Structure formats: C-alpha cells, structure tokens
Structure 1
Amino acid sequence: MRTVFGIDVSKHIINLAIVVNKVKVDECKLTLDRPGLDNLLKLLKVFHQPEVVFEATGIYSRTLQHFLDCNEFNYTMLNPLTAKKQLDSLRPYKTDRADALNLAQTSFIIHRSLSYKQAPVYEQLHDLSRFYQEVSRDVVNHKNRLHRALQLTFPQLESLFSNTNNELYWAIVMRFSCPSQVLKTSFTDLRSLIQDSTNKVISTNRATCITKKLISLAKEAYPVVNDNSYVYEQIQYLTKRIVEEVHEKDKIISEMQHEAENLPEYDLLLSIPGFGVRTVTSLIGELGDIRRFHSSNALNAYIGIDLRHYESGNFVATDHISKRGDAVARKILFRSIQNIAVASHFHPNHINDFYQKRKRQSSQPGTKKIAIAAIHRLLRTIYHLVKYNQSYNYQIAKA
C-alpha cells in the first residue's frame, strides 16, 4: 500500500491531501505552527512509510522541512519551476487545495527522487551568506545616499584618498564634512584630529600630507547648504551606519569561517588560486553540500549558467544562459574569475589559461561570455575536487 501526502504550504496554513493507491482518502487544512504540526505528525504515524511531497516556498516551507527532518521523515521538496511544469499537464484549476491534491496524485505518475538531507551546518551557512548579501546591499545604498549628501556640502572630500573604503576616510567624513569648519581649525589641530581619528598608527609625515590636501580641497568647496543645515546630521548618520555595517560584514565572515572550517571541502576550495576565505565560505553557503549533485552539469543548472538553445526551421537563436538558478552564487563565481586572473601572476592555474586564451581568440570587445565559459570550467574543477577529495594541482589540471 503506497501512501502519498501532498502538501501546499502558505504563510500560516498548509493544505493537506492524502492519497492511498491513487485514491484520495482525506483532505484537510492545518495551521503552520506547533499544534498544526502535531496533528500532521499524528496523521503521518497512521500510515506505514508515507511519502511527503511539497513545493519549496522560501521561508514558509522551511518550517515544514525542519519538522520533517526532526521527525526523520523522508520527503520530496520540489523546485517551484519543476512543480509548475509537472502540474501544468493537469486541467488549469488553481487553488491551494487543488495543488495539494495534484502533488499527491502526480506522484503515482511521475517518479520523484527523495530530497537530499544536508547537514545543519549548510543551512546555517546559507542563512549567514544571505545575511551578508543583505548587509552588503545596505552598505551600497548608504554609500549612494552619502555621496548625494556630500555633493551638497563638500564634494571634493571624496577625492582626498584614492580608496574611500577605509576607516580613516569615514572618520574624516564624520568630522570634516563642513569645509568652513576645516578652514577655521588650525593646521596643528587638524593634523592631531586626523591622527586620533583611527586606531591605526599614522606617521606625522602622512598626517601632514593629508591635512594639507584637506585644507586645499576645503578652499575649493562651494557648499549649497548653510553650516547649520540638517544635511550634516544626515552625513553623520549615514557614515555611522556604513562603519557599523562594514564591521558587521567582517563579523559575519568570521562566523562563517568558524562554521565552515571543519567541513572537508573548505580546505579543498581554498587550494584553488584566487579563492580566499570570503569567497569559499560564501560559495559553500550558497551551493550547500556539493556532493548531492550527480554531475557538474547539474551544478551548472542549479546556478543557472546552463545554456538555453532554440531553433525552428531555418531560424537558430543565439544561445543564452538560463539564469534559472542561484543569482548570488553566479555573482560570487563571476567575481571569482577576476580574482583568479589576478592571482595567476603568482599562482598559475588552468582556469586563467583558458580565460586568457579565449580572450585572445575573441574578436568581440566584451568578456562576459568568456567569463561564463570560465565559470563552467571552474565548476567542473570544484565538483571534481570535492567529489574525489583532492586539493588543486596545476600540473594535473593542465594535463
């Protein structure tokens, strides 16, 4: 006797359909909380080895997934796109109740593999990775808002350093966003304030050069607002937020490193030239347990760099990547190609050899397509290293 539980998960409610040997035996609604899950557990224990099928719905389905993991039930969690394609073959009657029943009924027609259960550390790393991305977006937004505010007060301040992403720059912005204040302060006091504004040691010569340039820029400035404008309060607020968020990013990476360093793939991925702690921990957080993929092509599809091909009659469309996958992982890997190219000056690798060869052969000015091809080769390397527990070796890779 085969029993399938089809479950449609929403924000507070789960719709449940129980089908035994292709015959519907029960339908009900349960709340997505402890009382509702306790009732679900009672129903699951009534049947021998029930199969559970549900569609992944982001954070809402995480509760159901955690419940099934804790109670050691096997389940099939469908990708939303996969579920849509499988259910499209039925009549187009769309309700939560119908979805639950259709999920259960189609399990007798379509073979669905059980979902791979990852270790809890991968879920923890995934949550940390997404939190890191959220904080990174906040930093970018606040930097853009700060740039706008400085255009009204002291736009020349942004040219004080070649790199404006450091604590000294933020400290100077907080103290000297008003050019008239800079000109009113004596040279000696300015230099002392600059030296005291950061925990890093700044030599007197460097502090003198910074002070001279700051005064020169202040003389060029033509503020749009008065000295008592609230824009200066806005600059203080935004700068503090940026500093806090940058520190939070470093804290998240440290926590991710602590969680990931005991995983076997951590050191293997670090052996790839151009891969640092930030890249490796973020990549593990996004990809999860790479061993669950049956091939590197499946890994390509998960990230969304598998090619979409279309032809009809004499028309053949240009191939494009599907982008049906993890956009964050694609971004990390795209930037990794640039890091690998930079690291190749001291640590040669076959990924960069391929990348540079394709660049020389290409007649087009852009390198995005070449980078995508390099990502495909990089993913094959990552999959091989993790699956066979090997560290990167350039001599073996280029053979």
Structure 2
Amino acid sequence: MFTSKSELFLNFVQLFPHPDCVLSLSKTIIKNRIRANTNKKISNIMAEKKAIQILEIAKNSYPAVSQNDVLCDQLKAYAKRYQELLQQKECCINKMVFIAEQRAEYSIILSLPGIEPNTAVRLMSEIGDITRFANNKQLNAYAGIDIRRFQSGKTFYKDKINKGGNKHLRKLLFLIIQNMIKLRCYGRNHNIEYYDKLKTQSYNKCHKVASIACVNKLLKLLLHLITHNIHYDYRLAA
C-alpha cells in the first residue's frame, strides 16, 4: 500500500503508530490526512481507496500492546529519525550530482539506458577515475567479477567470480543490470539483448550468471565510452 521509504508512509506512522488511532477516525478524516501528508499529487478517489484499505487492515490487526504503550512512542521516534536520515541522504546525493555535473564522464554514464543521476554519481564515486585501468580485465578485477577457476588433477570445478574487489561497486552494478531489465520497454539496449541471448535455450544460463555476464559487458562499454569521450548510442554501439 505504501513503500517503507516514502514520505507518506513515515508521516503516517508518526500520526498513527497503533491500529486504535486509525479506528477512532472516519474514512473522510483519514483520506484528508493522506492527502495532507504527501508532496505527491493524489486524487480523492485514490486517497479514499487507501483510507478504506487502512481501516480494513486496522480492523483485522491484533496489536500486542495498547496505543498508550511506550513502544508506540518509540515507533514514532524511529520513524522521525529515519525520515531525517533519508532527507540527509537526499541532500548529500544532490551535492554529489552538482559536483559530478562538472565532469565529462557524468553525462556519458547518464547516456546509458536505465541509469539515473542517483545511480550515476554512486557509480562514479565507487569506480573513481576509470581511465587509470589499462583494460577491462583490470576493471573486472577491481569490481571482483573476474573468473576464479579451480582444477585438481583431471577434475575441473565450476567457475566462480572472485568477489575480491569492491563489493559495493559489484552490488551497484548488479542492481543497474536489474533496472535495465525492468526498463527494457523504454528503449533498446545491447546489454539486455546480450542478457536475452544468454537466457536462450542454446546457452540456458541462469539469471544470476547472465546478469554477471552483463555486468562484465557494461564495464567494458563504460571504459570504452569514457576513455574515448563518446556517449552511448544504440545505433553505433557494437
């Protein structure tokens, strides 16, 4: 009904930390509170629908404490503190974007489908100066996705990624690929076409293996684009 990081959710938890706080109010009051506690435009119909859902959930809940319990006060305090931290995070990211806009690679990274300013500045901060890598193999090793092979006599073990590099970068790159997969309908993307190719019957790679292979392709593409100072163009990319 609400995402746990949304402003509306955190405001709502502070207003109504207990089901009884909701049950004592009418549907109209709850609807108006919903509309008043979000910066997003929400219609009367949608707000009323959410109000009905909230009342239904409150009726079917079985709280372990009363609405006057100290745990309700703690919940309100935690929600407020979490909200403050999210605001600080957003402020920090905005400052990072302002600094990143002065660098040439920022616009190049943004030219890739599925990458927004938030992701772009995080990627830049984790990689640093990408031109210091002589080739994509060094960049793969830095991200920890280079292949580690085990062999004992005539026995060959399944290849695995090294996981010895920057784990934050590795996680971020994996999430970027997942976003690209979700947003495939908004434009053609060579990385996603490569993912689909790996998932076909002849290759039949599992989702995680195919995603890591796409991370490898993405890093190679990023290194090429930034080194040569060119933006991503599906018609030109190989």
- Specify whether residues 321 and 187 from structure 1 end up closer, same or farther in structure 2 by C-alpha distance, changes over 3 A only: closer
Q: Deviations over 1:243-286 (max 9, x none)?
A: 11221221121111111111111111111111111111111101
Structure 1 residues 303-314: aligned runs within 5 Å: 303-314=143-154
User: How far did 1:339 drift?
Assistant: 1.6
Q: Is the 8 A contact 2:2 2:8 kept in 1?
A: no
Structure 1 partner of 2:13? 173
Other-structure match for 2:85: 245
Percentage of identical aligned residues: 35
TM-score, normalised on structure 2? 0.92
Q: Kindly tell me: are residues 202 and 318 of structure 1, through their superposed partners in 2, closer, same or farther at Cα, counting changes over 3 Å?
A: closer
Q: Which residue identity lines up with residue 222 of structure 2 in the other structure?
A: I
TM-score normalised by structure 1 residue count: 0.56
Residue-by-residue CA offset, 1:54-104 (whole Å, 9 max, x unaligned) = xxxxxxxxxxxxxxxxxxxxxxxxxxxxxxxxxxxxxxxxxxxxxxxxxxx
Q: Structure 1 171/397 Cα, relative in aligned 2: closer, same or farther at 3 Å?
A: same
Q: Deviations over 1:88-138 (max 9, x none)?
A: xxxxxxxxxxxxxxxxxxxxxxxxxxxxxxxxxxxxxxxxxxxxxxxxxxx
2:119 equivalent among 243, 254, 279? 279
Larger Rg: 1
Deviations 1:346-366 (A, max 9, x none): 2212111111110113446x3
Unmatched segments (≥5 aa) in structure 2: none
2:95 equivalent to 1:255: yes
**What is the letter of the counterpart of residue 166 of structure 2?**
D
Q: In the comparison of the two structures, how many residue pairs are matched?
A: 237
Q: Which residue of 2 aligns with 1:115?
A: none
Higher RCO (CA < 8 A, seq sep 6+): 2
Once the two structures are superposed, residues 316-350 of structure 1 have per-residue CA deviations (whole angstroms, 9 ceiling, x without a partner) of 12211111110010011001111222333222121
Structure 1 residue 237 displacement after superposition: 1.3
Give the CA deviation at 1:162: 5.3
SS at match of 2:185: coil
The 2-side partners of 1:373 and 1:164 are apart by 32
* Consecutive unaligned residues in structure 1, runs of 5 or more: 1-160
The runs of at least 4 consecutive aligned structure 1 residues that moved more than 4 Å come to none
Counterpart-to-counterpart distance in 2, 1:192 and 1:321: 52
Q: What's 1:267 paired with?
A: 107
Alignment partner, residue 24 of structure 2: 184
What's the CA shift string for 1:148-199, capped at 9, x where partnerless?
Answer: xxxxxxxxxxxxx153432112211211122222222244433333332234
Q: What one-letter code is carried by the residue in structure 2 that aligns with 1:215?
A: L
Q: Relative to structure 1, is the Cα distance of residues 276 and 231 closer, same or farther in structure 2, using a 3 angstrom cutoff?
A: same
* Aligned counterpart, 2:172: 332
Q: Identify the residue that residue 392 of structure 1 maps to in structure 2.
A: 232
Name the structure with the higher strand share.
1
For 1:255, give the aligned amino acid. Answer: K
CA distance in 1, matches of 2:137, 2:90: 33
| Greater share of helix | 2
What aligned pairs does 1:1-399 form with structure 2 within 5 A after superposition?
A: 161=1, 163-361=3-201, 362-363=203-204, 366-398=206-238
User: Which whole-Å CA distance do the structure 2 matches of 1:359 and 1:294 have between them?
Assistant: 31
CA RMSD of aligned residues (A): 1.8
